[in-house]
Amino acid sequence: QVQLVESGGGLVQAGGSLRLSCAASGIFRDINVMGWYRQAPGEQRELVAGITHTGVENYADSVKGRFTISRDNAKNTVYLRMNSLKPEDTAVYYCNAQIKPRIWMTFQDYWGQGTQVTVSS
């Protein structure tokens, strides 16, 4: 059974920093794109940042220059470094990964349980 386990959320003042981590565990064949999404109260879930297996990154315009995504393929882990945090970054952050459970299967979407990030003004 494949699981994504997140850590690193919390409460921080505006201008502060946090780092989120997400590790994939279980038995699986391969991981393609890994990324982070967020959902604020009353809002739709939105893509924050994504990174391919070869390290190609993409970011939402609202976080460019402030957030950095990275991954360690040997540890099946993706990170999100968040700097210069703003109150509008407050949301539940979800890890996402495209994982192939078995060699004969296609890549499937997996989600973490979510971690709360709260930025106070």
Q: What is the pLDDT of residues 73-111, one digit of tens each?
A: 999 999 999 999 999 999 999 999 999 998 899 999 999
Is the confidence at residue 114, as pLDDT, over 90? yes
Round to whole Å and give the CA distance between 97 and 51: 10
pLDDT digits (tens, 9 = 90+) for 2-29: 999 999 999 999 999 999 999 999 999 9
E-assigned strand segments in 1-121: 3-7, 10-13, 18-25, 30-39, 46-51, 57-59, 67-72, 77-82, 91-100, 108-111, 115-120
84: number of CA atoms within 13 Å, CB side?
A: 7
Torsions phi, psi of 38, nearest 5?
A: -145, 155
Determine the average pLDDT of the residues in 39-47: 96
Is the confidence at residue 1, as pLDDT, over 90? no
Is the confidence at residue 51, as pLDDT, over 90? yes
